[in-house]
């Protein structure tokens, strides 16, 4: 059946992190393309530190390097031009840590990963697969509201790429919300600005519920 035993409708929400999580969401949509009944239950998607549709080895390398080294990576710190006085939420955020410089291990790992992804992403089958996923994310997302949470200080995902993608979605008539945290590092917006982040999620979920009600009575 399409609902719970008590008559409530099942709804699906996705919350993705970084470009890898976003691409995984795209792969899920591809696998569900023959299941319109499931697609119709997707009521929202939050994209945290993702939304760059370019197949760029440097972005992939930076993302994996940050994930492997975690807080040891300089990529998990804000860009230096956004360190001082660029964002404040009235004391609800944690202090921004000064930008770190990559150490020898990180520099070597980043160089190795860039060469690796240059090779892998250039393989015809891999490139074809990724372009198919990107096409779905660009043109065939479910007709539900989207929320993009990003930062100008993100050293992994280019802010310009995210904003251009958002513009593209809006030009297609999609309902898109977005918030630029300005000074928080990659996948660190919640820890840096927990109150703002939570408020944006609550606001977005209310929009999703409102959109669902409108669709039901349209």
Q: In percent, how much of the chain has pLDDT > 90?
A: 64
- In a domain, residue 5? The reply is no
Q: How confident is the model at residue 104 (pLDDT cuts 50, 70, 90)?
A: confident
Would you list the DSSP string of the chain? Answer: --B-TTSPBP-EEEEEEHHHHHHHHHHHHHHTTT-HHHHTTEEEEEEES----S--HHHHHHHHHHHHHGGGSGGGS--GGGSSSS---TT-SPPPPPPPPP-HHHHHHHHHHHHHHHHHHTSHHHHHHHHHHHHHHHH---SS-EEEEE-TT-SSS-HHHHHHHHHHHHHTT--EEEEE-SS--TT-HHHHSHHHHHHHHHHHHHHHHHHHHHHHT-
More confident residue, 60 or 86: 60
Domain of 171? 12-216
87-91, 115-119, 186-190: least confidently modelled range: 87-91
- In a domain, residue 7? The reply is no
Q: Is the pTM of this model over 0.85?
A: no
Query: What is the C-alpha to C-alpha distance for residues 138 and 163, in angstroms, rounded to an integer?
Result: 13
- Residues 99-134: b if buried by 16+ CB within 10 A, e if exposed: bbebeeebeebbeebbeebeeeeeeeeeeeebeebb
- In a domain, residue 4? The reply is no
Answer yes or no: is pLDDT of 76 > 60: no
Question: Is the Cβ–Cβ distance between 112 and 64 less than 8 Å?
Answer: no
- In a domain, residue 82? The reply is yes
Q: In percent, how much of the chain has pLDDT > 70?
A: 78
- In a domain, residue 1? The reply is no
Answer yes or no: is pLDDT of 154 > 80: yes
Answer yes or no: is pLDDT of 12 > 90: yes
CA angle, 171 then 180 then 132, to 5°: 45
What integer pLDDT is reported at residue 34 of this predicted model? 84
- In a domain, residue 69? The reply is yes
What integer pLDDT is reported at residue 181 of this predicted model? 96
| Domains: count for the chain | 1
- In a domain, residue 203? The reply is yes
Q: What is the mean pLDDT of residues 163-180?
A: 97
Q: How confident is the model at residue 10 (pLDDT cuts 50, 70, 90)?
A: confident
What integer pLDDT is reported at residue 149 of this predicted model? 98
Tell me whether residue 61 is exposed, middle or buried, using C-beta atoms within 10 angstroms of its C-beta: 0 to 12, 13 to 18, 19 or more.
buried
- Give me the CATH number covering residue 191: 3.40.50
- In a domain, residue 204? The reply is yes
Q: How confident is the model at residue 127 (pLDDT cuts 50, 70, 90)?
A: very high
């Amino acid at each position: 059946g399409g609902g719970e035993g008590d008559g409530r409708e099942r709804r699906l929400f996705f919350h993705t992190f970084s470009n890898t999580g976003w691409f995984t969401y795209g792969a899920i949509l591809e696998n569900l393309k023959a299941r319109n009944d499931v697609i119709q239950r997707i009521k929202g998607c939050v994209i945290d530190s993702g939304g760059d549709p370019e197949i760029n080895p440097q972005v992939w390398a930076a993302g994996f390097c940050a994930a492997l080294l975690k807080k040891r990576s300089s990529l998990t710190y804000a860009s230096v031009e956004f360190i001082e006085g660029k964002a404040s939420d009235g004391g609800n955020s944690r202090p921004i840590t000064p930008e770190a410089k990559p150490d020898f291990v990180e520099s070597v790992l980043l160089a190795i990963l860039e060469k690796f992804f240059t090779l892998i992403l250039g393989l015809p089958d891999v490139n074809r697969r990724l372009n198919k996923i990107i096409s779905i994310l660009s043109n065939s997302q479910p007709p539900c509201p989207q929320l993009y949470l990003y930062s100008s200080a993100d050293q992994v995902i280019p802010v310009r790429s995210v904003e251009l993608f958002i513009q593209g979605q809006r030009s297609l008539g999609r309902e898109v919300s977005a918030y630029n945290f300005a000074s928080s590092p990659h996948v660190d917006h919640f820890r840096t600005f927990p109150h703002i982040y939570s408020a944006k999620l609550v606001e977005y979920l209310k929009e999703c519920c409102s959109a669902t009600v409108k669709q039901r009575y349209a």
